[in-house]
Amino acid sequence: MRCLRYLALFIAVPLSSYAQATFDVASIKPTMEHVQYDRNGETTLSHGTLRMHDVTVKGCIAFAYSISLSQISGPASLTDTHYDIIAKAAPDTTQTQMRQMLQSLLADRFHLTLHHSQKRMRRYVLTVFANPPKDPSKFHPSATPGDSHHENSESGTTARNITMQQFADFLSGVLDGPVADETKLSGEYDLQLEFAKYVDLHADNSELPGAAFILNSALKGELGLQLTPQKGPVQVLVIDHIERPSPN
């Protein structure tokens, strides 16, 4: 009877509880070609395949744990080498599962160990400033489903099929501080953000206003969004140990 009870318990557990924990295959190589206008490289997820191009270990950790770069404390080796990573899992693997698999990959191949802590620091909240936006052609719900994608240029950025949480994550990289999405805008969006109208791109760097001021001006003027700075305790990851990746 006891065996039958254990068998019944096993059958009652959803199969999702035994979801794949690691990638089927993963390749890690030093980057040979850098991504222009994007210090954090490119990361895409599509049908169970994670592609990271020109990313640092710090960038990988930020993506794996859904935090900003500023929330990671560790040695200079976190940013001194850029990598190309291709990792594959089942086509129906969710983004949350892919991030967890990347955590396992970092522990296995980079021998990463870390611990959680808290630090008081500047953070931002992304909210709606004007609804509808001043120019709906530059910010609107995506017309067709697809993989999220963004591309930077000298004067701005464009994105397709991006959620507001993904956009907040992108902004956190620009601001070097965590950004919380409180827009209450669901679904995916296409957007085009240009800075040229809000800053002299040819001015000397010492004469330029801060990144937060320029970004907030463009967000308000182009997309009808705004960033509000705050200061308070933020979760941080402290890196205890990291190594060069083991061979493929």
81 and 124 in a single domain? The answer is no
Measure the CA–CA gap between 116 and 235, rounded to whole angstroms: 7
| Domain edge (last residue) among 111, 139, 156 | 111
**pLDDT at 170 > cutoff 80:** yes
Using the 8-state DSSP alphabet, how is residue 145 labeled? -
| Domain edge (last residue) among 111, 140, 165 | 111
30 and 76 in a single domain? The answer is yes
Note whether residue 223 is domain-resident.
Answer: yes
Give the model's confidence band at 4: pLDDT under 50 very low, under 70 low, under 90 confident, else very high.
Answer: very low
123 and 231 in a single domain? The answer is yes
Give the model's confidence band at 18: pLDDT under 50 very low, under 70 low, under 90 confident, else very high.
Answer: very low
For the chain, the domain total comes to 2
98 and 132 in a single domain? The answer is no
pTM listed for this prediction: 0.78
Note whether residue 248 is domain-resident.
Answer: no
Using the 8-state DSSP alphabet, how is residue 240 labeled? E
Note whether residue 8 is domain-resident.
Answer: no
55 and 25 in a single domain? The answer is yes
Q: Phi and psi for 169 in degrees, rounded to 5?
A: -65, -40
Share of the chain above pLDDT 90, in %: 57
Residue-range definition of the domain harbouring residue 26:
19-111
- The candidate with the shortest Cα–Cα distance to 35, out of 195, 161, 152, 144, is 152
164 and 226 in a single domain? The answer is yes
127 and 222 in a single domain? The answer is yes
Note whether residue 243 is domain-resident.
Answer: no
Which alpha helices (DSSP H) does 66-208 contain, by range?
95-109, 164-175
138 and 103 in a single domain? The answer is no
148 and 223 in a single domain? The answer is yes
23 and 93 in a single domain? The answer is yes
- The 10s digit of each residue's pLDDT in 23-57 is 999 999 999 998 887 778 889 998 999 999 999 99
Measure the CA–CA gap between 87 and 29, rounded to whole angstroms: 12
222 and 130 in a single domain? The answer is yes
Give the model's confidence band at 205: pLDDT under 50 very low, under 70 low, under 90 confident, else very high.
Answer: low
| HEC string for 180-238 | EECCCCCCCEEEEEECHHHCCCCCCHHHCCCHHHHHHHHHHHHHCEEEEEEEEEEEEEE
- The 10s digit of each residue's pLDDT in 100-141 is 999 999 999 999 999 999 999 999 999 999 877 767 888 999
| Domain edge (last residue) among 79, 111, 143 | 111
